């Protein structure tokens, strides 16, 4: 049996695991159940150092049975949690689009460097142009999704604002790519 005491504010939470093979992610999940604080909002402190939440065993992080930890973090209301998930989804989609735009740029460079026969260049450039337009349309939809997210919470607004800036930067990359066509 692996037992821990986790302090959050004035509350003490007793956590126990049947195995010594528990990870920090396992601990984080149990704390979410007991405190209502989602893992992304949790900060665990052990012996003055922040524990990374992930797949490392607690024993690898220096946490042993009987250890005392401190939990920092606050509960997120359900609306804000939905907003955060929506922003994360937009971020994930934007990363995929950015990777696609980078690949299109590499293809364009290859065409300009002569890696494709002249008789195929027009068709290849047309395909790149269509894919750029598709990327721009998807990015505009992501901006619309971000615009629909409303929250009085400053953290949510900051995350949303940062993601808008990221999507706009990818749109700028698309514009630069299309200028080269």
Three-state secondary structure string covering 3-27 = EEEEEECCEEEEEEECCCCCEHHHH
Q: CA–CA distance from 116 to each of 89, 109, 129, 130 (Å)? A: 37, 11, 16, 18
Of 100, 108, 87, nearest to 166 by C-alpha is 87
> Can you give the pLDDT at residue 171?
97
State the greatest distance between any 2 C-alpha atoms of the chain, in Å, as a whole number.
74
Say how many C-beta atoms besides its own lie within 10 A of residue 74's C-beta: 12
Helix ranges (DSSP H) in the chain: 24-35, 78-112, 118-148, 154-180
Q: What are phi and psi of 149, to 5 degrees?
A: -80, 120
DSSP 8-state symbol, 53: P
Q: How confident is the model at residue 147 (pLDDT cuts 50, 70, 90)?
A: very high
Looking at residue 91, its pLDDT comes to 95
Beta-bridge mates of residue 3: 16
Contact 108, 177 (CB under 8 A): yes
Query: What digits encode the pLDDT tens for the residues 153-174?
Result: 887 888 899 999 999 999 999 9
How far apart CA 52 and CA 59 sit, in angstroms, is: 13
Mean pLDDT of the chain: 92
pLDDT number for residue 32: 86
User: Would you state the structure tokens that stand for residue 140, as one six-digit string?
Assistant: 């505009």
- Report the pLDDT averaged over residues 101-113: 95
CA distances from 23 to 74, 105, 115, 159 (A): 22, 42, 50, 28
What's the predicted TM-score (pTM) here?
Answer: 0.62
């Amino acid at each position: 049996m692996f037992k821990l005491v986790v302090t959050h504010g004035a509350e003490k939470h007793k956590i126990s695991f049947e195995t010594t093979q528990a990870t920090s992610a396992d601990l984080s999940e149990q704390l979410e159940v007991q405190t209502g604080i989602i893992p992304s909002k949790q900060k665990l402190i052990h012996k003055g150092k922040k524990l990374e939440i992930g797949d490392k065993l607690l024993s690898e992080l220096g946490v042993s049975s009987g250890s005392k930890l401190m939990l920092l973090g606050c509960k997120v209301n359900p609306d804000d949690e939905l907003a955060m998930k929506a922003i994360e989804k937009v971020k994930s989609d934007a990363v995929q689009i950015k990777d696609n735009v980078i690949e299109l740029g590499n293809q364009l460079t290859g065409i300009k460097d002569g890696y494709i026969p002249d008789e195929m260049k027009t068709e290849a450039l047309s395909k790149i142009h269509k894919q750029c337009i598709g990327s721009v349309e998807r990015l505009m939809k992501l901006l619309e999704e971000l615009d629909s997210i409303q929250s009085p919470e400053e953290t949510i607004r900051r995350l949303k604002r940062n993601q808008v800036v990221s999507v706009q930067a990818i749109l700028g990359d698309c514009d630069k790519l299309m200028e080269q066509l």
